[in-house]
Amino acid sequence: MPKAAAGKTSVRQPGLVLTDHVFDVPLDHKAPDGERIQLYAREAVATSRAGDDLPWLVFLQGGPGSAAPRPVGRAHWLDRVLDDYRVLLLDQRGTGRSTPATRQTLPLRGTPEEQADYLAHFRADAIVRDCELVRAQVTGGRPWSVLGQSFGGFCAVSYLSYAPEGLAEVLITGGLPGLDADAETVYRAAYPRMERKTLAHYERYPRDEAAARRIAEHLADREEVLADGTLLTPEAFQQLGILLGTGDGSHRLHYLLESAFVPTAAGPRLSDAFGEQAAAVLSHAANPLYALLHEATYAQDGRATHWAAERVRSEFPQFDRHFETGEPFLFTGETVHPWMLRTHPALRPLRRTAELLAEREGWGPLYDPAQLARNEVPVAAAIYHDDLYVDTADSLRTARAIRGLRTWVTDEFEHDGVRTGGGAVADRLLRLVRDEA
């Protein structure tokens, strides 16, 4: 059983009460008497219902490597679920206020080999086991509901596979993974989506293609180092396309591109304003696990990932030939590459650790198709049409493989619909899972 920290602290915000929880859990759930790590979670309950015996819902954030949301009042999806639940916003292992795994803390583990061995325990299967230990503490053993966004949805499918007895119902938004899709397969499907999203952006903002090309040509000729130390190469610049998977991302990218250059004594240079905004999008200082474990989230067949996104990119030469042919400059995003260990300051100290994780073999399964086929837990999933980050075809196949799962396929939202849609996405999923829609 995890141990809750004494002296829990509660604070009030408009419309809700927030309470801190801290637990200790095994680093390796196969060695429960071994090393322990700490998990942090923030309980949120509506002020008017703070004294009620409400069912619990745990929110699993996207990523990997992202902390749970920090609420300010009853905003977005939280406003809807607080009508019915006491919510636990869990910082997954290694993130937020849980025992952190960053360039600052990982050297305490020892050598890169020891760091890689440590991080091998930070995948969805371990997160599910963490949740089960925490559930026993906070609900008294009663099943709880799960809302999984993006990678949190991947974790929810692992939860359905290996601990369905802990679940009352599951809501998934933008996070139905391919049950047997390896990293190469995932990225082979991703690059065409990146191309489509880029071309759709240029249809909306026709001048942006010339602006993006000018920036890329400038970066090919001149080194630019951003204020946070990021070396902005043409390939790093391409990764700003990660914005195109969000509801307002195309507009944000447009405003970023339109003010890229300023005149200086040394000629046109990228503006500090551009650099600051670009660094905020590209930085992995707060979530290095995204880069370190991104491909490992798809590794299940024992094979090493070996920088799958970088290898698969060679199959799509249009992402590199814009200089020679005049074809449109294409953005990327949602991919991790070995050159990032040189260009991104938060990853440079972890270079060898990242290489070892890319070379690591023996990754075990994350899902149990047989268990999912006989699933009895009510499940509803929002699938976003042409989602940049999660392949729609994979999601639909998985939806058919999970017994009883109800889907809502929509092009009204992008990948972050649960946030940008206010309470609409959460409400639709709740109605589906309750057979009210």
Query: Is 161 among the residues known to form the active site?
Result: no
Burial of 428 (0-12, 13-18, 19+ CB in 10 A): buried
Query: CA 209 to CA 199: how far, in whole Å?
Result: 9
Question: Residues near 114 by Cβ (< 8 Å), separated by ≥ 6?
Answer: none
Distance (Å, whole) CA 274 – CA 213: 15
Strand pairing category for 261-262 and 36-46: unpaired
User: Distance (Å, rounded) from C-alpha 410 to C-alpha 385?
Assistant: 6
**Which residue out of 66, 98, 145, 150 is catalytically annotated?**
150
Per the annotation, the verdict on 125 as an active-site residue is: no
382 with 429: CB under 8 angstroms?
Answer: yes
Check if 130 is active-site.
Answer: no
Whether the link from the prior residue into 338 is cis, omega within 30° of 0, is no
**CA distance linking residue 357 with residue 126, whole number of Å:** 17
Per annotation, catalytic residue among 337, 415, 416, 427: 415
φ, ψ dihedrals at 104, nearest 5°: -80, -35
For residue 224, give both structure tokens: 């630019």
Q: Is 39 exposed, middle or buried (0-12, 13-18, 19+ CB in 10 A)?
A: buried
Is 42 in contact with 58 (CB distance < 8 Å)?
no
User: Which of the following is catalytic: 130, 182, 208, 387?
Assistant: 387
The answer to whether the peptide bond before residue 64 is cis (omega within 30 degrees of 0) is yes
- Kindly give the pairing relationship between strand 261-262 and strand 56-60: unpaired
Residue 221 near residue 267 (C-beta atoms within 8 A): no
Q: Which residue has the tokens 């990982």?
A: 106
Any idea which residues carry the catalytic annotation?
150, 387, 415
